[in-house]
Amino acid sequence: MRLFSRANALHLGLIALLAALFFTLPAYHTGNLARIMVLAVFAMGYNLLFGYTGLLSLGHALFFSAGMYGLGLAMHLGAATPAPAFLAGLIAALIVSGVVGFLALRTTGVAFMIVTLMFAQAGYLTILYFGSYTRGDEGFVIQQAQRSLLGIDLSDDTNRYFAALILFAAALLVTGAIVRSGFGRTLVAIRENEQRATMLGYDVQRLKLIAVVLSGVLSGASGAAYALLFGYAGATFATVQYSIFPLLWVLLGGAGTTIGPLIGAIFMFYLIDYASGLTNAYLLLVGVALVALTLFASQGIVGTIRARWIRWLP
Amino acid sequence: MLELAEVTGAYGNVKTLFGVSFSVAPGSVHCIMGRNGAGKTTTLKTIMGLLTPTGGTITLNGADLGSESAENTAKRGVGYVPQGRRLFAELSVAENIQIGLMARRSDPATRDWVLDLFPPLKTRLTQRAETLSGGEQQMLAMARALCLRPSVLLLDEPTEGLQPSMIAQIRNVVMKMRCDGVAVVLVEQRSDAVLTMADHVTFLENGRSVETLPIAGLKAAPEKLTHYLGV
């Protein structure tokens, strides 16, 4: 019980800190943080599958873009308002992740990685193929006038920041509750020893499929929110790069930790931001930093802190 | 009653079992002995459904078990404690037990019953499983399997690498299961442990059961241990 209260206190404290940062940081950084919080939800979705269930997917860009295009097309072509469009994004991600999970979970290990990668590539090509609707590579803008929820203009910096924070807070509390539940502990058991979980009578395939769908819906929520808050949907978000990003964020922050995805996303975002200000060869600096971190903190930032100093970190 | 009749099996194209037969009645301990590579662990895995038999029959109370998956075999009441324990290392002792309880939606009374069987675990509930001693890990592996309230318990070398006091605790639990009507199938290398726990012994050689005899018969003819095991 004590562990639970400490974990909840940490989560609530983090949410409060992020709210307070809006009033203390310059506009440039609050703009960055709004984007990072939305992308951290993507990373949290990825973490649920990779960090807790032990399934390494290379196709999460598909789930992110399913949410993004589910909302985007509903608003762009169907003139839907934000709330039903967001729901459309979630449903699109749910359906896509359900189908992909059902088929991809017939494989394991490297084959699972390849199959998810192929599905994501197929999704990317589908977006390009139906360019007359999706505007292909170019993408499309969601008009500012459409991005108003209950009279609140989500293109406004303040509103956007707190909308991103609300989404992040909801995702953090929900994933925190999931991973501490019996279901979440069972996912960890599957990650630790899948055969042993099977021998106890668990329907491991069904549990893994639920994990894929939950992960996909969280990723889709992030994609839908990204399109809504930043007013743009494009095929770039369906490329393999956006399948690699959440993996990196989770690895850097700490796989199997609840706040690791946010820390990893912040670290990566500002590492690129800072390095690109120093040199055009900033990717080299980023690469060196990532290799160093991997060598000296192989469990990621939060994972290493938990392993060495604060064992109760969720 | 667990019954194996002329069970054959293979790892892929490599045949490993060439005809294993024995039966285990409720409330009895049946030990499988044999040299390394004789097929002891393979037999347990085949009963559990981790390997599909290529021939013969495995039945539990008359119903076919040979074609069941491991998941369904567990649901039919077969608990398995594999060699090497295979705990959920990053989960705590309490969580490992909880995972076992949830698998069969067992009630809190089962948790208390299991912890009463293994009192040392009561003081380790919040400790991560990977930090337990070897003996405590073995207790936890057995405790988790017993959360299923199995009617058949498969134990693969439960005393391997344990100190005498731990072996005594494991033996006590096996005897208690036997008294509670559980059919225990035990793979064991230590002849002293076998002689104090088992009711019957089946010797395997090269994937085939070559002789089954009551423990009294083995005590009367200890040279069989030398013959089959080389000890």
For residue range A247-305, what is the model confidence (pLDDT) as tens digits? 999 999 999 999 999 999 999 999 999 988 888 888 888 888 888 888 888 899 999 99
Minimum distance, in Å, between the CA of residue A110 and any CA atom of chain B: 21
State residue A104's pLDDT score: 97
CB A164 within 8 A of CB B70: no
In chain B, the number of structural domains is: 1
In a domain, B157, yes or no: yes
Q: In the predicted model, what is the mean pLDDT of chain A? A: 93
pLDDT, mean of residues B136-149:
91
pLDDT tens-place string over residues B163-173 = 888 888 889 99
Does the beta-carbon distance from B91 to A185 stay under 8 Å?
Answer: yes
Instruction: Tally Cβ neighbours within 10 Å of residue A188.
Output: 20
ipTM (interface pTM): 0.77
- A189-228 residues touching B, CB cutoff 8 A: 189, 192-193, 195-204
Percent of chain A predicted with pLDDT > 90: 77
Predicted confidence (pLDDT) at residue A239 exceeds the cutoff of 90: yes
Predicted confidence (pLDDT) at residue B228 exceeds the cutoff of 50: yes
Instruction: Report the CATH number at residue B71.
Output: 3.40.50.300
Predicted confidence (pLDDT) at residue A3 exceeds the cutoff of 60: no
Question: Cα separation of B188 and B107, whole Å?
Answer: 32
Contact residues on chain B for A201, CB-CB shorter than 8 A: 71-72, 74-75, 103-104, 148
Nearest CB partner across the interface for A189, out of B75, B80, B88: B88
CB A136 within 8 A of CB A127: yes
| B124 close to A (CB below 8 A) | no
In a domain, B36, yes or no: yes
Question: Cα separation of A261 and A252, whole Å?
Answer: 8
Q: How many residues does chain B have?
A: 231
State residue B224's pLDDT score: 83
Predicted confidence (pLDDT) at residue A2 exceeds the cutoff of 70: no
User: What are the DSSP E strand ranges found in chain A?
Assistant: 140-141, 148-149, 152-153, 232-233
Question: Cα separation of B29 and B188, whole Å?
Answer: 12
State residue B65's pLDDT score: 92
Residue A233, helix vs strand vs coil: strand
Instruction: Tally Cβ neighbours within 10 Å of residue B35.
Output: 16
Question: Cα separation of B212 and B4, whole Å?
Answer: 12
- Upper half-sphere CA count for residue A268 (Cβ side, 13 Å): 27
| B95 close to A (CB below 8 A) | yes
pLDDT, mean of residues B45-59:
94
* Residue A217: pLDDT band with limits 50, 70, 90: very high
Residue type, B182: V
State residue B231's pLDDT score: 63
In a domain, B119, yes or no: no
pLDDT tens-place string over residues A60-109 = 999 999 999 999 999 999 889 999 999 999 999 999 999 999 999 999 99
pLDDT tens-place string over residues B186-197 = 998 888 888 888
More confident residue, A196 or A166: A166
In a domain, B95, yes or no: no
pLDDT tens-place string over residues B6-27 = 999 988 888 899 999 999 999 9
Predicted confidence (pLDDT) at residue A125 exceeds the cutoff of 80: yes
Structure tokens at B12: 């892929």
Cα-Cα-Cα-Cα dihedral sign, residues B162, B164, B165, B169: positive
> A205 to chain B: nearest residue by CA?
B71
| B108 close to A (CB below 8 A) | no
In a domain, B107, yes or no: no
* Residue A212: pLDDT band with limits 50, 70, 90: very high
In a domain, B103, yes or no: no
State residue A290's pLDDT score: 83
Contact residues on chain B for A199, CB-CB shorter than 8 A: 48, 50, 70-71, 74, 80, 82
Range of the domain at B198: 2-85+151-229
In a domain, B145, yes or no: no
Question: Cα separation of B213 and B228, whole Å?
Answer: 13
* Residue A1: pLDDT band with limits 50, 70, 90: very low
Residue type, A136: G
Q: How many residues does chain A have?
A: 314
In a domain, B210, yes or no: yes
pTM (predicted TM-score): 0.86
Question: Cα separation of A287 and A43, whole Å?
Answer: 20
> B126 to chain A: nearest residue by CA?
A3
| A1 close to B (CB below 8 A) | no
State residue A64's pLDDT score: 98
